[in-house]
């Protein structure tokens, strides 16, 4: 009777998948959702309830929420985690690709929030966790559209947090840096596509360097366990934080921006690791 019910988007791989396992291990009733249900069979074996959910489709999200309410009677936690990285310089992506990036990372998050809030307001409690990124504080060459969505998530979360406080709902942003997940394989095809653009030659040297640093950063990034600890804290603590910066590179980037400003960032970021 005391088990909390959590709805996770983007649970097929990476942070979402690892967080589903962590929450299951800590007694949560987990509804793990993603477009590729076949990648969540192990979660189902561990006790999760898996469902197909494309966050760009209102009907998918509403179906999940309706099912949870029918089965459990409540939703205690939404972990809006679904997202991907649109890699490549600004000039080399079509408006359609950019719209898709925002639809998944920002509007998709908003769809899930809007679907759970009526129930959280009714029960006068709830947690909304949003996977953002250190890139929401510090942008970089080679993938500016992705940080643009993360900046947007910050604005969304900050306003939302103030809106829903009176209803007993808390909002937390999870803002990691590099994480060792398969986001590398999911994102690099976008860089491949950018390299086919008619104007790609102007950025060839930048994209070559970016590709190498991106892959290295992912391979040497923090483990998913680093992130799942803060997800569990945000989902269960009596006083969850507004923002969580789980790993060292995320904290370093945010510190650099706060204390040294854009002048140093503009010089340092192009030659350093990318978040």
- The confidence score (pLDDT) of residue 252 equals 61
pLDDT at position 257, please?
62
Task: Compute the distance between CA of residue 56 and CA of residue 50 in angstroms, rounded to an integer.
Answer: 18
Residue 12: the pLDDT is 93
d(CA 157, CA 52): 25
pLDDT, one tens digit for every residue, the chain (275 residues): 579 999 999 999 989 999 999 999 999 999 999 999 999 999 999 999 999 999 999 999 999 999 999 999 999 999 999 999 999 999 999 999 999 999 999 999 999 999 999 999 999 999 999 999 888 777 888 899 999 999 999 999 999 999 999 999 999 999 987 776 777 677 889 999 999 999 999 999 989 888 888 777 777 777 778 889 999 999 999 999 999 988 766 666 666 666 566 666 666 666 554 43
Of the candidates 146, 178, 244, 275, the residue annotated as catalytic is 146
Per-residue pLDDT, 209? 87
Which sequence spans correspond to the domains of the chain?
5-271
Q: Provide the pLDDT for residue 219.
A: 73
Q: Which of 175, 170, 85, 75 is nearest to 115 (CA)?
A: 75
Overall pTM > 0.75: yes
- Give yes or no: 275 in active site: no
Extract the tokens encoding 46: 């561990």
- On whether the CB atoms of residues 207 and 197 are closer than 8 A, the answer is no
Pick one of 3.40.50.1000, 3.40.50.720, 1.10.260.40, 2.40.10.10 as the CATH number of 5-271.
Answer: 3.40.50.720
Strands 169-174 and 126-131: parallel
Distances (CA, A) of 252 to 231, 243, 247, 261: 20, 15, 9, 13
């Amino acid at each position: 009777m005391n088990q909390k019910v959590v709805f996770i988007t983007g649970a097929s791989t990476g942070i979402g998948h690892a967080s589903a396992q962590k929450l299951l291990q800590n007694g949560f009733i987990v509804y793990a959702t993603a477009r590729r249900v076949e990648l969540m069979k192990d979660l189902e074996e561990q006790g999760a309830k898996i469902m197909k959910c494309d966050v760009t489709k209102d009907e998918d999200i509403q179906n999940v929420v309706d099912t949870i309410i029918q089965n459990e009677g409540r939703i205690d936690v939404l972990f809006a985690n679904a997202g991907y990285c649109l890699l490549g310089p600004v000039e080399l992506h079509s408006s359609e690709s950019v719209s898709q990036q925002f639809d998944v990372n920002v509007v998709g998050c908003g769809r899930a929030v809007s679907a759970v809030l009526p129930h959280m307001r009714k029960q006068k409690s709830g947690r909304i966790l949003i996977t953002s990124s250190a890139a929401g504080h510090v942008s970089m060459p080679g993938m500016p559209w992705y940080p643009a969505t993360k900046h947007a998530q910050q604005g969304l979360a900050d306003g939302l947090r103030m809106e829903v406080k009176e209803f007993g709902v808390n909002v937390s942003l999870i803002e990691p840096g590099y994480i060792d997940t398969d986001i590398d394989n999911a994102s690099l095809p976008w860089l491949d596509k950018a390299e086919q653009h008619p104007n790609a030659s102007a950025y060839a040297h930048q994209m070559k360097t970016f590709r190498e640093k991106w892959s290295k950063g992912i391979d040497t990034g923090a483990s998913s366990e680093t992130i799942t600890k803060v997800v569990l804290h945000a989902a269960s603590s009596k006083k969850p934080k507004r923002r969580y910066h789980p790993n060292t590179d995320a904290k370093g980037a945010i510190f650099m921006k706060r204390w040294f400003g854009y002048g140093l960032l503009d010089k340092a970021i192009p030659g350093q690791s990318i978040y």
